[in-house]
Chains A and B, each alone.
Chain A
Amino acid sequence: MEVTFNNSGAINRAHYALVQKIENASSPSLADDAIIQEIDTIRRRFAKAGFTPDSRACREWLLILLHCSMAMTFELPRSDYLEFALPAAVGLAGGGAKLSDRRVGYEFCAAVMPPEHELHLMLVNTFRKDLESRDETHICLALDMLLQVSSSDVVPAIQSRLEDLLSHKSFQVKRRAMATFKTLSRHNPDLLQRTTRKIFKRLRDDVVASSAFSLAAELVKAGMISGIEVGHAAVEVIQKDRSNSQGRRIHSPAVAAIRCVGQLIVIDPNSGEVKSLAEVLIQKCLTSSKSSKIVLECFRALSVTPEPILMMVLSPSSDLQHPVSGIHYMLMSKDPNLHYTFLACLLAIDVKLWVGVDEAIPAQLQENEVHRIMSFLDGSDLTIRRMTIQLLYRVDPAILEAWFSRFIESTPSPTSTTLATCEVYASRALEVSTVLDAENGEAFASRLKVVLQAVQVPHKDAAGKDSPRRGRAHDEGSGAGVNAVLESVVEPVLDRLRESTDEFRKTFVEKTLQDLQESFTGVAAPVPTATVICAAVACEYSQLVTLPPSTVAEGLTNCLATSPGVQEALLIALTKVVAMFDDESSPVAVVTRVEELLKQSRKHMRHRCDQFLRLVKDKAMLKTVVQNAKSQTLPDILLAIEEQFRKLPKPVTSPSSASSRAVSPRGAAGPSALRYDAYDAPGASRRKSQDRHQVRTRRPSQTPSTRSSAAYSEEFQRSPILNGEDPLAQTITPAGLVALAEGDEGLRNFAVGNHIQPGGPSIVSEALASKVDLITLESPFHAEPPTGIAEALKNDIQADPSSGISEESFLQSFDVSWNSIKSTTRGWSESPPATVAGTLQDAGLGFIMAFPSIEAGIKAKDQTFHDNEILGMLLTSDGQISAAIRLRPGEDDSSLWILKCDTLELKSLIKNALQGDG
C-alpha cells in the first residue's frame, strides 16, 4: 500500500502504521500477529488511562480496535478479547465531547457487547437522554443504536417517548421509531400496543409507508389491529403505484405493501378477503411486468395463497390473464438475473397452476420456452442450475431421470478426457442425483456408482496394470481423471451423509459396502473415487450397518491393489473396522494382504502398513486408538494413530530424520543438543529440509478455513516429501482432504501448529527433538558398510608400517585426542564413509584413516567405537593430533561425519574437502 500518512486519511499515526503492517504483511498470520500486538498495546493504554480516558484518545483507540476486530483473519483468542474497552465505550457513548465520538462509543458497543451483557444497563440513561433531545441527529443516533444493542432493560425507560416519536416531524425519526418498536417487541410484545393508534396514518404516508407496513404485519399477527383494514390500506398503495419500469425507486411502498399482503394471507388464509387480494396481486403482476422486483414480490405473495382460490382466479372463466404470461420476456432475455427471477417466480407457485396438468388451467409455456429452461441445466451458473433442477423435479421427476440417463450416455470416455472434465461431468450428474434421490440413501448410492463408473474406470483396467498416479501436477492430459480421486464428488457426498437422516445414511452405507463386497465377485472393481468413499463411510458409519466387520474388512482389503493415496485411506478405514472385530476373531486375510503390500510399497506406505500390523497385533492399543479419536472420520482416526505411535518408544533414527532438525526449533532439541555445534546437511538433505520448511511455513501464511481442498491436494501432490519420511507431512491424502475441507482444524493445526506459534514447543518439535542428538545415542545405523574400500583401508593401516602407527596405538591416540579437542562440527555426506575417507586422504591434508576391528573389541578408556566406523587423525609435524574425524555409515550410502578440530582454518579446510565430496 503506497500512500503517505497525510494522504491516507488515517485517524492517527498508530492507525496508519497498523494498516501498513496489515496490508504489507507477507502472510495472514503475520497480519494477525500485528493486530493482536496492537490490541494488547491499546489494552495497556486503557489500563494506564483508567476509567476516564481523554475523549479523543478514547475514540481513536476504539476505532483502531474496531479496525482490528474486522481485519482479523483468524478468530480472536477469546470471544471477550475486546471487552476490556467496553466500559470506556459506554462512557464515550454517554459523555463524548462530540457527536462523532459518541457515535464511535455506540458503534463499539454494538459490535462488541454481547446481548445480555451487564453494561446494557449503563446505556439506558444515555438512550433516554438522546431520545428526549430536540436535536433530530441525537434522536436518530439513539434510535440507530437501540436497533442494534437493545435489551429488555431499556423498554420501560423509553417506551413513552418512543410512542411520541411516531408523530415526529422528521420522517427519518418516524421510520426509525417504527423499526425500533418492531425490534423491541421481541423483548416485550405488549409494547406494540402503543403503535396501534398511529399506524394507519403512517400506512398512508408514502415516505414512511414501507416501515409502517412492516410494523403493521406484526400488529396483525399479534391480533392488535384488523387485518382487513391493513389489507385495504395495502391494496390502496398497490393500486396507486405506477412503477412499471426498472426504475431506481427501490423500496417503493408498493413492494412493502405486497409483502404485507402476503403476510396477511399467511395469518388468515381463510379470510373472505383472500380472493380479492390474490386478484389485486395478479393484476399488479401484469401491469408491472417490467418491474421484476414487483413481479417477484407478487409471485411470492401468491405462493402462500390457498391453491383452490388461485385455481378459481386463474381459470379461463376468470377475466384475469395468467401472471406467467407477463414474464415470458425474462426467459428469453440475456440477463442472468432475469433468468433467476423467472425461475424464482415459477418456483413460487404450484406447478399445477402453469404446467397444464389440470384441464382448468392450460400450459403457460411454449415448447421453445421449455427447451430454454432445459438448456439451463447445461449452463455454467450453479445457482440457475440448482433452481432448474428443482423446477423440473416439481414438474415431473421423469424429466430429470431422462436427462440423467442421456447425460450419462453422453459422458465422454474416461480415457480420453482430462481430470477437470471428469470433475465437471461427475458434479453435474451429482447435482441431479441429490434432488432425485433426496430421501432414498440406497438409490443415491446406486446412482453415485453409475456416475462414477461413467467418468472413471477401475484402477487395473485403466492402463492394464497398477499405475499409481503421483499427483495432480501430472493430471492434466487426456485420461488423467481415470485414476484420480474426484474431490468434487467425495466432499459433497460425505457432506450430504452428515446432513442427512439416520435412515438415509444407513441405507446409503449398507448399499455402498454391499456393492463393494459384490464388486469382486465378477463385476469390475470399484473406481478410485468410489473406493475412497467406501473407505470413508466404512470408517465413519460401519457401526450403523448389519454387515459383519469381517465382511467390510474383506471388501476393503480387496481394494488394496490401487494407488497409494487410496491405499492409505483404505488402511485407515481397515484400522477402524478391525477394531470392531470380536476379541476372538483375527483378521488373518487382512494381515496377509497388508504384509504383501508392505513388501511392495515405498517408504510412506510401508510406514502405514507397519503401523497397521503393529496395531492389529496389539488389540488393546488398537481399541485405544479408535476410542481416542476425536471422531470416527478418516483424518481423526489417522490423527489418533499418529498420536498413539508418538507415545511409544522412538523407532531407530535415520539420517533423513536427522535432517529434519533444520525445521525444528533449536530450543526444542533438548540440552544435549547444545553440546555440539549444528552440523551441515549434505546437499540433498539440505534441499529436502528446505522444501519441507517451505511447505510447512507456507500453510499458516494462507487461510486454513478458506483454503479449498483442491489447494491442499495440490500442495500435497507437489510436495517433494510425498515419498519422504515425515508422516505428518503426508497426512493430507485425498481421503484426508475431505475432512480438511470440512474444517478439520485439529488435523490442520496438527500439521502446521508448530509454525503458527514458534515460541512454544509442539508435539512435532518434541518428536523431532528426541531424534536429533545422534551423537550421544547408540548407533542408529545398521546398513552394511561398503566393505570393499574400507577393508582395503583397514588393511592399509594394519599392514602399512610406513604410517608408523599400529592399530592399537592409533585407537588409543584417537581416543585421547577425541576427548581433548573441544570444538565439534558434524554434517552429512551423500557418499559412504569409505569414499569420504578416500576423499580426505586425496585432499592432501595428511589424514591417517583407520577402520577399527570388531574382533579386537576395541574399547578405549572413555570412548566406545561403533561398528563400521572409520576413524581419522591429522598429525602435525611435531606429532600432535590437530584434528580427529569419525565417519559413520548412514542409510542410502550416506555418512555422518563428526569432526573435532580446534584450529579454525584447518577446520575450514577439512570441511571444504568434506563438502566437496557431498
Chain B
Amino acid sequence: MIHAVMIFNTAGAVRLTKFYTPIPHSLRTSLPKLIFKLVSTRASGLCNFLDAPELQLNWAKNGVEGDETRVVYRCYATLYFVFVVSSEESELGILDLVQVFVESLDRAFENVCELDLVFHFDEVHYILSEVIQGGLVLETNVEEIAVAAKEASKARKTSYASAHPLSLGSVGGVGKNVESLAKNMNLSWFTSGLRR
C-alpha cells in the first residue's frame, strides 16, 4: 500500500502532500520534514530507496498501524518526488510509478514547472488520483492517464457550459496560463532535468 505521496523542493518547501493512511494531525507537518531531512542529505549517486527505521519509529509512536515502511524518491531538477510505501509494495515498481506521475504532469501542464505545482495543486491532486486511489496503484499507463485527464477537462467544460449557458466555453484548462509562463521562465526542466 502507498501510505503517502509528497513533493517538496530542494529547499524543503512542501508542494504537495497526500496521505492515504489516516495519520495523526501532528504527523502531517512533521513527516514531510523528517523525510526531507532523510532524503536531502543523500548524494545524487545513491540508490532511490530509503529503509528508514526513523520513519517507522515515528509512524509507530503515533499509533499508525502498518509493517515496515520504505521511502522511494526521485529528484527532478529542483523537486523531490517521494512515495512512502509499505513493504508489500515493490520499490522498483513505485520508482517507475514516480516517473509515470511526473510524465503525466508534464503532459497535462506541457512542460511542467514548480510554479504549476504551487498554483495548480488541485490539478496535481487530480492527476495523482488517476494514478493512485486509496493507496492502491490504479493506472500506470501515461497515455491512459493523459486521456483520462483530457476527458475530465472536457467533462468540466461541458458541466461549465451547462451551468453557464451564455459562456463562450473558454474555461481555463490545465496549464492554460502556465504554458506561457514555462516558456517565459525557461523552467521546462522535465525533458532535460532528470538527475538520474
Q: Are A175 and B92 in contact (CB under 8 A)?
A: no
Contact between B119 and A340, CB atoms less than 8 A apart: no
- How many whole Å from B67's CB to the nearest CB in chain A? 13
Pick the most buried of A76, A300, A382, A387: most chain B CB atoms within 10 A of its CB.
A382
Contact partner of A706 among B33, B47, B136, CB < 8 A?
B33
Within 8 A of A (CB), among B138-174: 138-140, 142, 148, 151-152, 155-156, 159-160, 163, 172
The minimal Cβ–Cβ distance linking A293 to chain B, given in whole angstroms, is: 4
Contact residues in B for A589 (Cβ distance below 8 Å): none
Q: Output the nearest chain B residue to A178 by Cβ-Cβ distance.
A: B136
Residues B121 and A3 in contact, CB atoms below 8 Å apart: no
Q: Are A175 and B138 in contact (CB under 8 A)?
A: yes
Inter-chain contacts of A214 with B (CB < 8 A):
136
Task: Identify A337's interface contact among B17, B28, B95, B119, CB under 8 A.
Answer: B95
Known: A97-B163, A250-B93. A337 touches B181 (CB 8 A): no
Complex Cα–Cα for A255 and B91 (A):
12
Contact A341 B92 (CB under 8 A): yes
CB of B78 closer than 8 Å to a CB of A? no
CB contacts under 8 Å to B, within A364-391, are 380-384, 386-387
A906 and B16 CA atoms in complex are apart in Å by 62
Asked whether A337 lies within 8 Å of B47 as measured between CB atoms, the reply is: yes
The residue of chain B having its C-beta at the shortest distance from the C-beta of A390 within the complex is B51
Within 8 Å of chain B (Cβ to Cβ): is A756?
Answer: no
Distance (whole angstroms) from the CB of A256 to the closest CB of chain B? 9
**Chain A: CB-nearest residue to B181:** A7
Contact assessment for A8 and B177 in the assembled complex, using a CB-CB cutoff below 8 Å: yes
Question: How far apart sit A79 and B62, CA to CA, in the bound complex (Å)?
Answer: 14
Q: Interface size bucket, A side?
A: 35 or more
Contact with A along B116-146 (1 / 0, CB 8 A): 1011111001100100011011111010000
B170 CB → nearest A CB, Å = 14
Give Cα A73 to B25, complex, Å: 13
CB distance from A732 to the nearest CB of B (A): 18
Q: How far, in angstroms, from A137 to B153 measured CA to CA in the complex?
A: 10
Q: B residues 1-40 with Cβ under 8 Å of A?
A: 12-14, 16-17, 20, 22, 24-26, 28-30, 33-34, 36-37
| A70-B16 contact, Cβ under 8 Å, with A250-B100, A293-B90 | yes
A344 to B89, CA, bound (A): 13
Indicate the member of B14, B33, B91, B92 with the most A CB atoms within 10 Å.
B92
Asked whether A792 is an interface residue with its Cβ less than 8 Å from the other chain, the reply is no
Q: A250-B140, A337-B48 are in contact. Are A9 and B95 (CB under 8 A)?
A: no
- Give the Cβ gap from B60 to chain A, nearest Cβ, in Å: 9
Q: Which of A8, A66, A179 touches B136 (beta carbons < 8 Å)?
A: A179
Which residues does chain A contribute within 8 Å of B48, judged by CB atoms? 336-337
Query: Is A10 on the interface with B (CB-CB < 8 A)?
Result: yes
* A340, B25: Cβ atoms closer than 8 Å: no
Inter-chain contact B92/A259, CB cutoff 8 Å: no
Kindly report which residue of chain A lies nearest to residue B54, judged by CB atoms: A495
Distance in Å: Cβ of B13 to nearest Cβ of chain A: 8
Query: Of B51, B57, B119, B178, which is within 8 A of A386 by CB?
Result: B51
Q: Determine how close the nearest CB of chain B comes to the CB of A285; give it in whole angstroms.
A: 14
* CB-CB under 8 A for A380 and B43, given A8-B177, A63-B122, A70-B14: yes
Using known A-B contacts A66-B122, A137-B155, A499-B57, determine if residue A251 contacts B49 with beta carbons closer than 8 Å: no
In whole angstroms, what is the CA distance A44 to B32 when docked? 30
Whether A232 is near chain B, meaning CB under 8 Å from some CB there, is no
0 or 1 for each of A334-377: is its CB under 8 Å from B? (1 = yes): 00110111001000000000000000000000000000000000
Smallest beta-carbon distance B114→chain A, Å: 9
Which residues of B have CB within 8 Å of A67? 121
- A3 with B133, Cβ < 8 A, contacts A70-B14, A259-B88 known: no
Q: Which residues of A contact B34 (CB under 8 A)?
A: 705-706
Q: Assess whether A100 is in contact with B118, with CB atoms less than 8 Å apart.
A: no
Which residues B37-93 have CB closer than 8 A to chain A?
A: 37, 42-43, 45-51, 57, 88, 90-93
Q: A912 at interface (Cβ–Cβ under 8 A)? A: no
The docked-state distance in angstroms from the alpha carbon of A74 to that of B116 is 24
Q: Knowing A8-B115, A176-B133, A706-B36 touch, does A74 contact B29 (C-beta < 8 A)? A: yes
Taking a contact as CB atoms under 8 Å apart, the answer to whether B133 and A144 are in contact is yes
Q: Map CB proximity to B onto A1-16 as digits: 1 under 8 Å, 0 otherwise.
A: 1010011111100011
Q: Kindly report which residue of chain A lies nearest to residue B177, judged by CB atoms.
A: A9
- B96 and A99 contact, CB distance less than 8 A: no
Residue of B nearest to A499 (CB): B57
**A66 with B185: CB separation less than 8 A:** no
The residues in B between 172 and 191 inclusive whose CB is less than 8 angstroms from any CB of A are 172, 175-178, 180-181, 184-185
User: In the complex, A337 Cα to B72 Cα: how many Å?
Assistant: 11
| Partner of A179 from B36, B134, B142, B151 at Cβ < 8 Å | B134
Q: In the bound complex, what is the Cα–Cα distance between A137 and B140 (angstroms)? A: 19
List A contacts of B159 (CB < 8 A): 97-100
For residue B172, give the distance in angstroms from its CB to the closest CB of chain A. Answer: 8
Contact with B along A105-122 (1 / 0, CB 8 A): 001000000010000000
- What's the nearest-Cβ distance from chain B to residue A744, in Å? 14
Inter-chain contact A381/B46, CB cutoff 8 Å:
yes
Residues of B within 8 A of A899 (CB): none
- Tell me, in angstroms, the Cα distance from A16 to B33 when the chains sit together: 25
The reply to whether A383 and B46 form a contact with Cβ atoms under 8 Å apart is yes
B108 adjacent to chain A (CB < 8 Å): no
Asked if B92 contacts A292 (CB within 8 A), the reply is yes
B97 touches A (CB below 8 Å): yes
Residues of A within 8 A of B155 (CB): 99, 135, 137
Considering the complex, give the chain A residue whose CB is closest to the CB of B32.
A706
**Residue numbers in B under 8 Å from A743 (CB-CB):** 30
A107, B122: Cβ atoms under 8 Å? yes
**A-chain residues with CB within 8 Å of residue B47 when the two chains form the complex:** 336-337, 339-340, 381, 383-384
Closest B residue to A138 by beta carbon equals: B155
Q: How far is the CA of A589 from the CA of B34 in the complex (A)?
A: 45
Complex interface: chain A residues within 8 A of B172 (CB): 9
Neighbouring B residues of A107 by C-beta, 8 Å: 122, 125
Residue of A nearest to B172 (CB): A9
**Which residues from B are CB-within-8-Å of A341?**
92
Interface residue from B20, B26, B126, B178 paired with A103 (Cβ < 8 Å): B126
A479 to B55, alpha carbons, bound, how many Å?
Answer: 34
Let me know if A336 and B45 touch, CB within 8 A.
Answer: yes
Query: Does A19 lie at the interface of the complex (its beta carbon under 8 Å from any beta carbon of B)?
Result: yes
> Beta-carbon contacts of A53-81 to B below 8 Å, as 1s and 0s?
00000000001001101111111100100
CB-based contact B133/A147 at 8 Å: yes
Q: Could you say which residues of chain A place their CB within 8 Å of the CB of B116?
A: 9
Query: Would you call B136 and A708 a contact (CB within 8 A)?
Result: no
A622 to B116, CA, bound (A): 59
| Contact present for B90 and A296 (CB under 8 Å) | yes
Look across to chain A and name the residue whose beta carbon is closest to the beta carbon of B116. A9
Tell me the smallest distance from the CB of B35 to a CB of chain A, in Å.
10
Query: Using Cβ atoms and an 8 Å threshold, which residues of chain B touch A650?
Result: none
Interface centre among A176, A292, A340 (most CB of B within 10 A): A340
Contact with B along A236-251 (1 / 0, CB 8 A): 0000000000001111
Q: Are A251 and B137 in contact (CB under 8 A)?
A: yes
Is B137 in contact with A706, judged by CB distance below 8 angstroms? no
- Residue of A whose beta carbon sits closest to that of B153: A100
| Interchain nearest-CB distance for A216 vs B (Å) | 14
User: Of all chain B residues, which has the CB nearest A498?
Assistant: B57
Asked if A305 is at the interface (CB within 8 A of a chain B CB), the reply is no
User: Considering the complex, which residues of chain A in the window 167-181 have a beta carbon less than 8 Å from any beta carbon of chain B?
Assistant: 172, 175-176, 179-180
A148 at the interface (CB under 8 A from B): yes
24 A-B pairs whose Cβ atoms sit less than 8 Å apart in the complex: A6-B177, A8-B177, A9-B119, A9-B178, A70-B14, A72-B29, A75-B28, A76-B25, A79-B25, A98-B163, A99-B159, A172-B148, A180-B134, A248-B142, A259-B88, A293-B90, A296-B92, A336-B45, A383-B47, A384-B47, A495-B57, A705-B33, A705-B34, A706-B36
New contact pairs (7) apart from A75-B28, A499-B57, A706-B12, CB-CB < 8 Å:
A7-B181, A70-B17, A135-B155, A147-B134, A175-B138, A293-B90, A743-B30
**Nearest 7 interchain pairs by C-beta:** A147-B134, A706-B33, A79-B25, A9-B177, A336-B47, A250-B140, A97-B163
